[in-house]
Amino acid sequence: MNLIADSGSSKTAWCVTKGKECAQQLFTSGINPFYMEVAQIEDELRALSVQIEGEINHVYFYGAGVASTKMSDTLCKWFRKIFPKATVEAHTDLLGAAYALCQHKEGIVGILGTGSNSCFYDGKNIVDTVPPCGFILGDEGSGAALGKQLVADYLKCRLPADLHQAFTDYYQLSKDEILDCVYRKAFPNRFLASFTKFLHEQQAHPYVHTLLSVNFDRFFTHNIMHYDYTRYPLHLLGSVAFYFKDIITATAAQRHITIGKVEKTALPGLIAYHNDLVING
């Protein structure tokens, strides 16, 4: 049996495959070694392992934060402690997105979820990328970036009065509670990205529409326009990409960027990719 994982900063989707089929689908919190301690990751993996029915032979993990060979080796070591008989591979979530969206064809790939990322994929490997730089210095168009602007404008009383009241009623958060979550508690990126639910519900509001358009345009100008976007479509993965597809597509068209596939999760594509490898080698 294979264990395939699509892990962002907020959530990890796991699939146990038997042959071509997904026998079990499980979910845990996101596993990001950039933000998490070893003990936290091991706890997540142990909690996962007790839910799996059967013995795992191969683990294919694609995750945010797996940005170096050292980090990949470290993750593989942790997985082998939990699944000692399995062969393990750990790759960046960007490669997982490329496999899932493009399979063996070349194309431009973007991730818009809690964070954001992008690359050009030649059908086998990532050959060009723009560093995402995290939600403080980059991650344009991501859930964390959208939430960051919304919350900052709320605290500075820059929201229109009706939207300010709607936000207050929706979340019932004090200024101190917000600042504590951003500056003192773990995973501020997840906290900020959680406000995309409010933005989705309010996306017809002129302020929200502008906020979304400006941030997605920034994702295009700071990242996607680095690649040959006039020749290749942009394929997108992630919850933000999926739920804001219409406004993303409209904003992209203003930059003459064509949107291709848009998927919420990489798992179906990753299952197809690894099945194809087994069949065709």
139's CB contacts (< 8 A; 6+ apart) are: 115, 116, 132, 133, 145, 189
User: DSSP secondary structure string, 125-181?
Assistant: SEEEE----HHHH--TTSHHHHHHHHHHHHHTT-S-HHHHHHHHHHH---HHHHHHH
Q: Is the per-residue pLDDT at 277 higher than 60?
A: no
For the packed helices 69-82 and 38-49, what is the interaxial angle rounded to 10 degrees? 40
Q: What is the pLDDT of residue 35?
A: 66
Q: What is the pLDDT of residues 79-121, one digit of tens each?
A: 888 888 889 899 998 999 999 999 999 999 999 999 999 999 9
- Average pLDDT (194-211) is 97
Residue 190: pLDDT above 70?
Answer: yes
Residue 136 has pLDDT above 90, yes or no: no
pLDDT at residue number 113: 92
Closest CA to 55 of 90, 91, 82: 82
